[in-house]
Structure 1
Amino acid sequence: MWRAAVALLLLSAAAAAAEPPLTADYYAQTCPQAADIITGAFIAKQTSSPTTAAGTLRLFFHDCFLDGCDASVLISSNAFNRAERDADINLSLPGDSFDAITRAKTALELACPATVSCADLLAMATRDLLSMLGGPLLTLKLGRKDSLVSSAEAVDRRLPRSNATVSELITLFAARGFSPRELVALSGAHTVGFAHCSEFAARFDGGVRAGEFARVVRRACAGYEKRPTLAVFNDVVTPSKFDNMYYRNLMRGMGLLATDQALAEDRRTRRYVRRYAGNQTAFFVDFARAVEKLSVYGVKTGRHGEVRRRCDQFNSLPL
């Protein structure tokens, strides 16, 4: 029996070793125009819908943080499966980003059929849009395959929520190999985009410091209980620019989400908030490193995934 077990381990190790590695020039021969196609599609979408960039950053995080960057969040539900994007926490993911991915994938399939994965598409789009907003340049490796599974039930309690404590956040990130410093750096993505009033308005009803900010938020969210789409920019100072203003706002008590403000007050994370508030270059360096690390977390390669023909559907129905 032990010989059979050893043989099985050797076969598994050999299979793992045979998996093709991610590389920066993965599509150099098979689809050299891939980057230009993706960039063009997302520039067009960002120009017509300026919230696309922030939405795509959020989509990338929700995809990668769960079980790796495998485009599982892009799958649509059907009669046989309730997919990740229909989990409660994902219902607010922006339609503009999904639409841009669909447009880019259609163009890719015309140019290079069955070649560029949706997971790589989302990673490259995130890199491009971050740069467009003035953020740091990312160095990405490519060659991810798309997931064969997407389940809404798998999402519960595995993505950070707007009412999470710092301890809960640290635990969630540590389970994926990320430090408190990387947690704070990745949270800097909130320097762009917006949050719906239902996620934070109640905490501004009273007792919150930065009184004028609280009054502005209350006015912006007036009647949100009956208007669920009401939202406020995460960074009300430079909402469309990727910079360190998010941290500077936290130092003034102007964090929109309770989780964000808590990072500036907890002893385990506040030193990083202070560092990034005072040094944008340090933030950019740490953010880029953390995103690059996240981009290779749990990726599928070789036979462990597929290259979807459509980003919202598996090539065949899941078993």
Structure 2
Amino acid sequence: MAAPTFMHCLLAICLLSCAAHAQLSADFYADCCPSLESIVRTEMIKAISRERRIAAKLLRVFFHDCFVQGCDGSVLLDAPGEKTAIPNNNSLLGYEVIDTIKASVEAACPGVVSCADILALTARDGTFLLGGPSWSVPLGRRDSRGGNQSLANDNLPAPDSNLTVLIELFGRQGLSPAEMTTLSGAHTIGFSQCLNFRDRIYNDANISPSFAALRRQTCPRVGGNTTLAPIDVQTPGAFDTDYYQNLLTRRGLFRSDQALFNGGSQDALVRQYSFNPALFRRDFAAAMIKMGNICPLTGDDGEIRANCHVANS
């Protein structure tokens, strides 16, 4: 048998070091991949300089990953799987950035860092680079070997979900109604296709007439399904609290947005966030950490995928 190479020995030391943590921690890769966060941040700066919307895309991918069997990178697996679930098919985008970051990480720390952890870091960095808060990301997730398409269809909120449904779906993940309202603030940097809000802008009563008219200009009753519009009409490229201010004036793009301020239990929190950015930033960081802790695979569970698109052979 051939003698182990230096790289093999280094990899063995790294894996033992990481495995010793046994649970998520901010310093999980301190010994085995100390350059991880700087690699991810550098690649995210490049990606956002090419396309500012990539931050919103990857934040949404992370959300959709965590809501289906936990934050395990299952959404990154190629079809058949979660990518082709109704809420994700031809809708989730940005996978190529994860691939680029994974390649850079593998070059520095081969076989050590999971795709799930890379995704968690991109969500944080994208938020921060667009002016949002930062937070210490607990790390140490491992990748699942498979996804769950039916669970993706059942667990992910739809653009027309009402408040009762939203509270129930977030509650399944251990997230409170307040945390649901906080995490919905991620829509401050999102865009959506016409087909997701057409019915609202033509048929709903709880919508600003001028806002509905604006959106109808690029979203006709028939056709134009993939035409994009910003969810936050004021500052779609900045992570701020304008999303909540829009809800106060009935300019929520989705029914699920306006449901947060429509005479229900979340009205008071929406008002608070609309005039208290510091409170929103603090709560958003805390809610993202909590969401990132949904059922992670750790220890010997799962694997460290070599390719984020496929399970290891």
Fold match by TM threshold 0.5: yes
Q: 2:48 aligns with which of 9, 30, 46?
A: 46
Separation in 1, partners of 2:141, 2:196: 33
Q: Who is 1:107 aligned against? A: 104
* Cα distance, 1:132–1:193 mapped onto 2, change above 3 Å: same
TM-score normalised by structure 2 residue count:
0.90
Q: Does 1:306 align with 2:303?
A: yes
Q: Who is 1:4 aligned against? A: none
| 1:209 positional shift | 3.5
Q: Who is 2:208 aligned against? A: 210
> Secondary structure at 2:155's aligned position in 1?
coil
Q: 2:254 aligns with which of 235, 254, 257?
A: 257
Answer yes or no: is the 8 Å Cα contact 2:194–2:229 preserved in 1.
yes
Q: Who is 1:37 aligned against? A: 39
Aligned residue type for 2:54: T
1:130-209 to structure 2, matched below 5 A, reads 130-206=127-203, 207-209=205-207
* Cα distance, 1:65–1:151 mapped onto 2, change above 3 Å: closer
Answer yes or no: is the 8 Å Cα contact 1:208–1:214 preserved in 2.
no
Instruction: Write the deviation string for residues 27-84 of structure 1: whole angstroms up to 9, x where unpaired.
Output: 111111111211122211111111100101101100012221110000002xxxx110
Q: Structure 1 residue runs of 4+, over 4 Å off?
A: none
Instruction: Write the deviation string for residues 72-114 of structure 1: whole angstroms up to 9, x where unpaired.
Output: 000002xxxx11011111014343x201100011111122111
Q: 2:65 aligns with which of 63, 66, 75?
A: 63
> Secondary structure at 1:66's aligned position in 2?
coil
Instruction: Write the deviation string for residues 188-208 of structure 1: whole angstroms up to 9, x where unpaired.
Output: 000111111101112212545
Superposition CA RMSD, Å: 1.4
Separation in 2, partners of 1:217, 1:297: 36
Gaps of 5+ in 2: 1-19
Aligned residue type for 1:182: E
Separation in 1, partners of 2:199, 2:23: 47
Separation in 1, partners of 2:215, 2:270: 22
Separation in 2, partners of 1:247, 1:35: 31
Separation in 2, partners of 1:288, 1:92: 29
> Secondary structure at 2:287's aligned position in 1?
helix
Separation in 1, partners of 2:24, 2:183: 22
Q: Who is 2:232 aligned against? A: 235
Separation in 2, partners of 1:276, 1:184: 10
Separation in 2, partners of 1:208, 1:189: 22
Answer yes or no: is the 8 Å Cα contact 1:59–1:93 preserved in 2.
no
Q: Does 1:292 align with 2:289?
A: yes
TM-score normalised by structure 1 residue count:
0.88
Q: Who is 1:269 aligned against? A: 266
> Secondary structure at 1:232's aligned position in 2?
strand
Separation in 2, partners of 1:23, 1:275: 31
Separation in 1, partners of 2:91, 2:136: 25
> Secondary structure at 1:90's aligned position in 2?
coil
Answer yes or no: is the 8 Å Cα contact 1:83–1:150 preserved in 2.
yes
| 1:19 positional shift | 7.4
Separation in 2, partners of 1:48, 1:68: 30
Instruction: Write the deviation string for residues 95-142 of structure 1: whole angstroms up to 9, x where unpaired.
Output: 3x2011000111111221110100110111111111101101112111
Separation in 1, partners of 2:206, 2:24: 47
Separation in 1, partners of 2:207, 2:302: 49
| 1:153 positional shift | 2.2
Q: Does 1:120 align with 2:117?
A: yes
Aligned residue type for 1:84: E
Separation in 2, partners of 1:293, 1:128: 17
> Secondary structure at 1:88's aligned position in 2?
coil
Gaps of 5+ in 1: 1-17
* Cα distance, 1:266–1:174 mapped onto 2, change above 3 Å: farther
Answer yes or no: is the 8 Å Cα contact 2:44–2:126 preserved in 1.
yes
Instruction: Write the deviation string for residues 261-296 of structure 1: whole angstroms up to 9, x where unpaired.
Output: 011014211111111112111111111111110011
